[in-house]
Amino acid sequence: MISKSEKTRCFIIEKTAPIFNKNGYSATSMSDIVTATKLTKGAIYGNFKNKEEVALASFEYNVRFIIDKIKNITKTIDSPVARLYAITNFYRNYYTHIVHFGGCPILNVGVDANHTNPKLFKRVKEVVLKMQYNISTIIENGQAQNEIKKEVDAMLYGSRIFSLIEGAIFTSVILKEEKYLLDMMNHLDRIIKTELQI
């Protein structure tokens, strides 16, 4: 059973996560948090030490949405190559979600926190490295199952695929056109088919 304190903490995160994602760390004030939650500052500080702790929890919440969605899609797929295609299919629908959500949390927080919040920026960096690693692991599993060429550098392609995805997200968000993300997913499918698959 979840305690009242934990429920309040979750409520604060759910209400403030979109605000931090849209406005960034510096531009989000405690007044914004109070307005969004309709709680007192005392109630906020009773659950979080400071604004930075709320921002970290909000980032984790926003990123968890992406990671959990990908996990749920790929966990039922046995073929590593099919998992890679499932990832590109996930990102084909990504723009529609993030355009209403204020953009990609990894990009938004990474850029915003780079010079303003070292602790938050460190966490973004960890998430990026983890996501690159996860793609690399899928490629390594594909090599072990004779679906992907042995000579492929799994770590290189893991970071390359992730970078191409995030770059396409950035371009689509800035230019407000989904086509850049869709085109990159088609390009990644070609890379998987011609450069990775046996």
Residue ranges of the domains in the chain?
Answer: 56-196
Provide the 10 A C-beta neighbour count for residue 195.
12
The pLDDT, as a whole number, for residue 159 is 97
The pLDDT, as a whole number, for residue 4 is 81
The fraction of the chain above a pLDDT of 90, given in percent, is 66
The pLDDT, as a whole number, for residue 96 is 83
Could you tell me the sign of the dihedral formed by the alpha carbons of 19, 62, 6, 121, in that order? negative
pLDDT above 80 for 190? yes
Query: 90-104 burial by CB neighbour count: b if 16+ within 10 A, else e?
Result: bbbebbeebeebbbb
SS3 of residue 197 by DSSP = strand
Residues 90-120 pLDDT 10s: 999 898 878 777 788 888 888 888 777 888 8
pTM for the structure as a whole? 0.88
**Residue 27: pLDDT band with limits 50, 70, 90:** confident
Spell out the residues 6+ positions from residue 132 whose beta carbon is closer than 8 angstroms to its own. Answer: 155, 158, 159, 162
The pLDDT, as a whole number, for residue 66 is 84
The pLDDT, as a whole number, for residue 24 is 84
> What's the rounded Cα separation, in Å, for the pair 113 and 26?
8
The pLDDT, as a whole number, for residue 110 is 86
> What's the rounded Cα separation, in Å, for the pair 133 and 28?
31
Residues 52-102 pLDDT 10s: 999 999 999 989 888 898 999 998 999 999 999 999 999 998 988 787 777
Query: Cα 16–21–22 angle (5° rounding)?
Result: 100
Question: Of 84, 69, 70, nearest to 161 (Cα)?
Answer: 84
Could you tell me the sign of the dihedral formed by the alpha carbons of 29, 167, 196, 189, in that order? positive
The pLDDT, as a whole number, for residue 5 is 79
13: tokens are 């995160």
Mean predicted lDDT score pLDDT of the chain = 91
Pick the CATH number of 56-196 from 1.10.10.10, 3.40.50.720, 3.40.50.2300, 1.10.357.10: 1.10.357.10
**Which residues are 148's β-sheet partners?**
197
